[in-house]
Each structure stands twice: as structure tokens, then as C-alpha cells.
Amino acid sequence: MRNYYCGGDLLRYHSIAELAATARRRLPYFAWEYLEGGAEQEWTLRRNRAAFGAWGLQSRTLVPAHPPATRRQLLGQETPLPFGIAPTGYNGMLFPDADLHLARAAAQRGLPFGLSTVSNASLEEVRAAAPDVNLWFQLYPMRDPSIQSDLLARAESQGVSTLLMTSDASTLGNREWDRRNFARPRQLSWRNKLDVLRHPGWLRRVMWPKGLPIMGNLAPYIPAAERNALGSMQFVSRQMDTLLDWDKLARLRDGWHGRLLLKGVLHPDDAERAAALGLDGIVITNHGGRQLDGASSSLEALARIAPRLRGRLALLLDSGIRRGSDVVKALALGADMVLLGRATLYGVAVAGEAGAGRALDLLADELRLALNLMGCPGIDALSHDWLLDAEEGWT
């Protein structure tokens, strides 16, 4: 009988799905819903995964199975694998100091780590915990220009190599299943309060002794009376700049001296405008299916964007990556790198740094195995020719 393992021996976890199953058991329902859920009917959330299943892989036989080449030169730096950890917010709900655990797991493997504006750990704390990490910073546009300027100055002082301007979350999507867990804004329903009591391990790890953490990057700007979990969230909702446009992005390009990526691109014309502004790259993403329900999957958007933009700026993709073969398909369709969100969050929710590391190692092993089974010598050889679609009998 098929069952996932759910114990403490991380070597017995053999897939991202297995880590996810244990994370679901260990988290109270409201925290799991925050991690796993999407917007409205969750069509886009499901489409992100279905899009990978729509492509098959070609294989060639009698090719010696040498260790495949997986190193990638991107944005002026070389990484041993074509993926990094995406910026995600409020990870302290899943595991204490989750941002620090994720950063250390990435640093140990020489991979980029993206920190969100709405992370629980601050830029300074992450740099202290992982001095050698290739630190990227996701900037949410702020209404108050002095806050945004200070965030950028802090990012530069902490050696942030790459800035990601997020363009698709100034207005939050309708995450109604998440909201149903609350009787009032950020006030859990009685059913969910009882469910929390059924997770004493989570209570002991996350809530004791200080309760849910605040947003570390924004703490210096939040009024003292509001420096708590609820106050942090209310502050973000007040400060998010809903009037972000191309002119503001151009001014950011002029003022930021490092590498700049636009995160939230799904349309080829937007990718063209980003290239015209001199951006270093884009992140093709639908925010994990958490914003506009009915939007294209990230992989489908990549297939439209890459033929026009590949080679003109870096093309990164996130949303839906759960297997090493998913990474192969994204690279074959034209991505230079993928970013991992939920995949590493499942791991950190299970076992902190070690769990996040296990998620990264599983994907790395699966990537190498897929390339060997395909008879592909390395990621630089990947192209559309290695893929099968419906017209070729793959459904």
C-alpha cells in the first residue's frame, strides 16, 4: 500500500510531494492554507502544474551517462545549478527563523536566495546568518519614497547583487479560501483556533514565547504601537504603491546600480518594454496562482516570451516547479533559471535548514537523473527539440 513517509529521517523523503504531505500534517490549517492556496477558483494555481504535464521529454539511447553539466552563468555569476530560492513572505509562520534557514541552505549549495520586503528576517539578519549567500532582494513598491529609498540603501549596504521589482502584487488577489479561516481580519475563527491547539509542536516552535513574528525589513518604519504581526500586515497594506508604472520602473533603473529584474511578467510586450528599459532580466510568474485567477501559467507565458526575448535579457521562471524534470522543461522552453517557492517552503516547514536543503538536493538529483535518462549531456544542450507536445502524441 502506497503511503508517504512522515518521520524525522530526511533521507527517507523522496520527493517534494512527500515533504509537502508532512508539512501539511505539522502546520495548523490556516498556515497550510496560506502556503498552499491560490486565488478564487484556483484555476491558475492548478494550471501551473498541469502546464508541465502537457510537455513530454525526448530521449536518446546509447549515450554514456557521464555526470551532466548543470552549471549556469547568469547575471555575471556562475551557479552550480540552474535554480535559486524565490522571495516569499511571512515564512516565520511555518518555522522559526525560516528565512535564515532558507538562506543558509542556499548558501551551502552556492545558490541565490531571494529575500522579500515582507520577510520576517531583515536584510541585516540574513547577511549575518549567511555571510556568503548570493543575496537577492524583492522590492515591493512603497508609497512613501523615503521608505523605498532606505530599503534600497540597506540592500546595497548588505551586498545585494540583484534586485527584483515585483509588479504583480500591488493589489492583492482574492485569496478567499485564506480569508475564510478568519472571523475578522487576522482574527482566527473558533474552528481554526481549536485546530491550532491540535498542533502543539507548531505552537511550541512558532508561537512560544513571543507569538507570530513581525516583518523584519519593515520594522524600522512601523509605528511602535503597531510592531506586531497584525500591525505589520496593516502597515504593508497602507504602504503598497498601487500606482506603480513604467516611468517609476525607469527611475528605479536609473537609481539602482546593481542588476535589476522585473518580477511579474506574463505578456511578451511587457518583456519587450523591460528589455528596452535596460533591465537585466525578467521573472515570468503569476505569483504562484495567488493573484489573477484565470491568468496564464508561467510555463505557457515562457513559451510565448522566449522566442522573442531569449538572449536579450535573462529569463527566469517561477510557479509550479516540483520536479527536476520540471526544471528541464522550463530550460528547454527558453528559461535561463527557475526560482523555487513552495518547494523549499515545504522543506523548511518540516525541518528548517535541513528540510530546505533536502528539497534542493532532491530537485538537483532529479535534474541530473532526467538529463542522463534523456541522453542529454547538460543543460546548455537543452532546446525545444528535447520536448514532446500534443501534436507529437504526448497528452
Q: Any idea which residues carry the catalytic annotation?
A: 287
Grid cell listed for 373: 535518462
Distance between CA atoms of 52 and 184, rounded to whole angstroms?
Answer: 38
- Residue 107 contacts residue 130 (beta carbons within 8 Å): yes
- Residue 389 contacts residue 89 (beta carbons within 8 Å): no
Q: How remote is the C-alpha of 7 from its chain's centroid?
A: 26
* Number of neighbours of residue 43 by Cβ within 10 angstroms: 15
Distance between CA atoms of 113 and 135, rounded to whole angstroms?
Answer: 5
What radius of gyration do the chain's Cα atoms show? 20
* Number of neighbours of residue 153 by Cβ within 10 angstroms: 10
- Residue 299 contacts residue 328 (beta carbons within 8 Å): no
Residue type, 386: W
Helix H or strand E segment including 94: none
Distance between CA atoms of 366 and 327, rounded to whole angstroms?
Answer: 9
Q: How remote is the C-alpha of 373 from its chain's centroid?
A: 28
The residue assigned the cell 504603491 is 241
Task: Tell me the β-bridge partners of 136.
Answer: 114, 162
Residue type, 108: Q
Distance between CA atoms of 371 and 350, rounded to whole angstroms?
Answer: 29
